[in-house]
Amino acid sequence: MTDSPDCADRRSVLRATAGVTGLPAIAGCLGGEGDGGDGDDDTDGNGGADAPPDDGPDVDYAVETVAEGFENPWGLAFLPDDGRLLVTERPGRLSLVDPGDGTVEGVAGEPDVFAEGQGGLLDVAVNPDYPDDSRIYLTYSATDDDGSGAAATHVGSGRLSLDGEDAPAIDGFEPIRVAEPFREGANHFGSRATFGPEGALFVTVGDRRDTDFGPDHVSQDRSNELGATLRLTPDGDAHPDNPFVDDSDAADAIYSHGHRNPQAMAVRHETGALWECEHGEEDGDEINAIERGGDYGWPIASEACRYGTDDPVAPGHDERDDVTAPVHHWPCGSGGFPPSGAVFYDGDAFPEWRGDLLAGTLAGEYLGRFTIDGAGAEGASVTERDPLLGDREWRMRAVAVEPATGHLYVAVDDADAPLARLVPE
C-alpha cells in the first residue's frame, strides 16, 4: 500500500487526536462517511453524505497491556469455558495466555512452518464444541516435500491438552487441508479461519501474488484453491453443500473466489453471514459480504490501481454484471485500508458498539469501527466511524472479544509486541 500525501497527513491528525469524534475534514480519506473517496461524492455507493447516525461515537475506553514480548503475533482465539487465550506468532510459536494475570505458556506440538515474507504460523480457531471436542485448528504456510521451496497455505488440527506432564500441548497435530497449488514466493497466503454458525470451517486463501491480471488469473480459475474462501468440514474435507462440488472442473472446497489477499474474516451475528476484508493492489481494499458461489472479481474487476501509478488494474465492479461487488471499498488515491483481523462486536462491555464490525488496519495503524445497515452483498450499507486506538501507531494484526467480559483484545504486528485490551473507562 502507498499512502497519498493527503491521506498520510490526515492519518497523522487521527493519531494526534487519539481518534476523537468531530473531525469531519478527515472522514473521507478513511471512508468515514462511507464514500471511500474525497468526502464530496458517493464513489462507492455506501451512503456518502447520507450516512446514518452513529450510536457509539463517544464511548470512553482505557487500554491495558495484558502481556508483552510477542514476535509478530497473528491470530487470537479464546478457549470456551476456560477463559484463556491462544496466540499465534508468525515465526512458529503458539502460546496460551491467562488474561487475568498475564501468564504466558508455550504450547508444544505446533507444526514446522515456512516463516518468510508474509508466511509462517498464522491463524488459530477452536472447535465450536470445545471442550467436548478439544481440537484446535492452525493455518500456516509450509513448503512442499519435494525440496523445491514452493509453499502453500495449510490447515492443520490436533487436540489441545491442558493436563499432564507436557501440557499445554497439541496432541496428534496433522495437516487436514493444503490449498494447492504450491507456488514460489512468500506473499498472499490469506489464512484467516473461523467457524460458521452451522459448524463449517471457513478458511481464506490468498492469490499468492499472481500478477497475471487477466481472466486466466488463479483467483478466476476455479480448478485451484488460490484466491478463494474454502468451506470445510471439521475434518478438513470439502463441505458437501459447497457450490461447485458437482463441477468436475472446479475445486470442491471453494465457497467463493475472485479474492486477492483476504486477511480478515468474521461472522455477523444478526444474520449468520460470513464477511471478509481483503487487501487491494494500490488501495482498492475491500469489505465483502460473502455469498455462496460468489465471484468477487479480482483481478477482472477492482477498485485498485497498479502499484506506483494511477492506472486502474481493471474496470470497477459496477462495470461488470458477472461479479459480486464489495459492500465497502477504498478506491485508488484514498490511502486505503490494508486490513488484518476483524470481529463483529457482541459483548456487554461496550453496548453502543453491538453489531459493529471492528477491523484492524496495518499501514493505517488504527482499529476501524464500521456500522452496518441492511444485509447481503447487495443490501448492506457500511459506514466507517472515527478510528479507535488512532494515537498508538500500532499495526493492528488481530482482534477478539473476550466472551465473559466483552473486553476487546488486539494483537499488534511488531517484533516485540504487546497484547492489549480495551476496557470501559
Active-site annotation, residues: 188
- DSSP β-ladder status, 254-257 and 201-205: unpaired
What sign has the CA pseudo-torsion 316, 318, 321, 327?
A: positive
Query: 200: helix, coil or strand?
Result: coil
Question: What Rg, from alpha-carbon coordinates, does the chain have?
Answer: 20
What is the residue whose three cell numbers read 472479481?
297
Ranges of H-type helices in 86-207: none
**DSSP readout, 301-346?**
S-S-B-TTSS-BSS--GGG-SSSPPPSEEE-TTS----EEEEEE--
DSSP for residue 108: B
Contact yes or no for 367/401 (Cβ under 8 A): no
Of the candidates 345, 342, 360, the one whose C-alpha atom is nearest the C-alpha of residue 396 is: 360
At residue 124, φ and ψ (nearest 5 deg) are: -140, 140
Query: Side chain identity at 107, as an amino acid letter?
Result: V
What is the residue whose three cell numbers read 455469498?
291
Q: How far apart are CA 86 and CA 19, in angstroms?
A: 29
| Residue 209 Cα distances to 156, 206, 212, 364, angstroms | 23, 8, 9, 21
Give, for 9, the enclosing helix (H) or strand (E).
Answer: helix 5-16
Give, for 14, the enclosing helix (H) or strand (E).
Answer: helix 5-16
Contact yes or no for 213/201 (Cβ under 8 A): no
CA 296 to chain centre: 16
Give ∠ CA 231-193-340 in degrees, rounded to 5: 130
Neighbouring CB atoms inside 10 A of 14's CB total: 23
Cell triple for residue 322? 458477472
